[in-house]
Amino acid sequence: MQVLALTLTLTLANTVFNALSQDATPVTPPAAATSDDPLAVAKAASAARVYAFLGELEQTSFTIKSMSGALALESFDALVEETQRRYGRFVMERSDAIVSPATTGEPAVNSPPLGARRFALYFDEFVDGSGRSDRSIDHWIYSDGWLCEQDYRNKSFTKRQIVAPGQTLDPLALGEGPIPIPMGQKRADVLARFDVSEQEIPQDIPLLGSLQNVAGLRLVPKPDTSLAKDTLFVELFYDRTTLALTGVVSREKNGNLTVARINAPVVNGAVSDADRALLTIGTPDPKEWSIDVRPWTTTSDAKPSESSSEPSTPKSTAPSSPATP
């Protein structure tokens, strides 16, 4: 499976924050209700809860140092009316994370670069629209600006440098990385680009219907944003205790729907030996595997923010560095 195909499968909310690298307009806290109208009072209270919760979520960029769990993805294609499912594991580790001071709740001044995160996606089951199951392995790793995929079915190994040398990128951020499992998005950025409201657990979606002790948000792109063209809304569900993302619903205007769930996520706990093993990929044998290494490429006079993220022409040779990014 190619990177583009995975990007589409894991739509989640990847297109939602396609401009997070830009400074957002400062957002002030919502005003309290000025009338005795019960509806107005309830609306103001809900807006205040959303504002406060977004502030809590922003801190997870610093407080969540590791996370792992079983991952399930469902992708509905409205054109052919078919749903595909993938099952596996998600592992994220950020060994140098700095926790914000508990007394202030503010990010640490000398916080590490977001690129310090590394993660693995390990899919070992695919179910097509007819219900047929395939147990072949598809293994993804991101670390130090490189994204690697090892497709066991096709004996294919791909290694792409998706971050320009000297630059940093949060691979899990909505709109920044190709494998979005959003954590720590800035409140000002979110409110500048979306109308945000509280969201109940969607009982009509079996994958998420059994969620418990979660807080949900619905993000609707504002009309003047690029996302409004294709995206109806994105719903994000977070565990109330750990603030770990446990569920995502992304609905497009063409009817396509992507749903994701991370079951029983372990946050800041001991990473099991089995999960830690997923954070490395052994170097494949070029005699048996098709190997494709794509370093970052850009024009010499392009600015970092204007650099193309497209990989260079594939090389059918073994990588000069170890397969682990």
Closest CA to 76 of 209, 259, 278: 259
What's the confidence (pLDDT) of residue 119?
87
Q: Is residue 319 part of a domain?
A: no
Residue 82 has pLDDT above 90, yes or no: yes
Closest CA to 74 of 258, 278, 231: 258
Q: Which pLDDT band, with edges at 50, 70 and 90, does 181 fall under?
A: low
What's the confidence (pLDDT) of residue 113?
47
CB atoms < 10 A from the CB of 239, how many? 19
What's the confidence (pLDDT) of residue 167?
77
Q: Is residue 172 part of a domain?
A: yes
Residue 26 has pLDDT above 50, yes or no: yes
Q: Coil, strand or helix: which one is 78?
A: coil
Burial of residue 278 (CB within 10 Å: 0-12, 13-18, 19+) is buried
Burial of residue 194 (CB within 10 Å: 0-12, 13-18, 19+) is buried
Distances in Å between the Cα of 306 and the Cα atoms of 24, 162, 302 are 19, 14, 6
Give the mean pLDDT of 142-149. Answer: 87
Q: Is residue 82 part of a domain?
A: yes
pLDDT, greater one: 140 or 312 = 140
CB atoms < 10 A from the CB of 99, how many? 14
Q: What is the pLDDT of residues 194-244, one digit of tens each?
A: 899 999 999 999 999 999 999 999 999 899 887 788 889 999 999 999 999
Q: Which pLDDT band, with edges at 50, 70 and 90, does 154 fall under?
A: very high
CB atoms < 10 A from the CB of 280, how many? 16
Alpha helices by DSSP H, 121-249:
187-193, 206-209
What's the confidence (pLDDT) of residue 116?
65
Q: Is residue 318 part of a domain?
A: no
Domain of residue 49 covers 3-306
**What does the alpha-carbon distance between residue 313 and residue 299 come to, in Å, rounded to a whole number?**
14
Q: Is residue 41 part of a domain?
A: yes
Q: Is residue 218 part of a domain?
A: yes
Q: Is residue 158 part of a domain?
A: yes
What's the confidence (pLDDT) of residue 201?
95
Number of domains the chain contains: 1
Q: Is residue 56 part of a domain?
A: yes
Percent of the chain with pLDDT over 90: 45
Q: What is the pTM of this model?
A: 0.74
Which sign does the torsion angle of CA 45, 37, 192, 175 carry?
positive
What's the confidence (pLDDT) of residue 219?
92
List the CATH number of the domain containing 126. Answer: 2.50.20.10
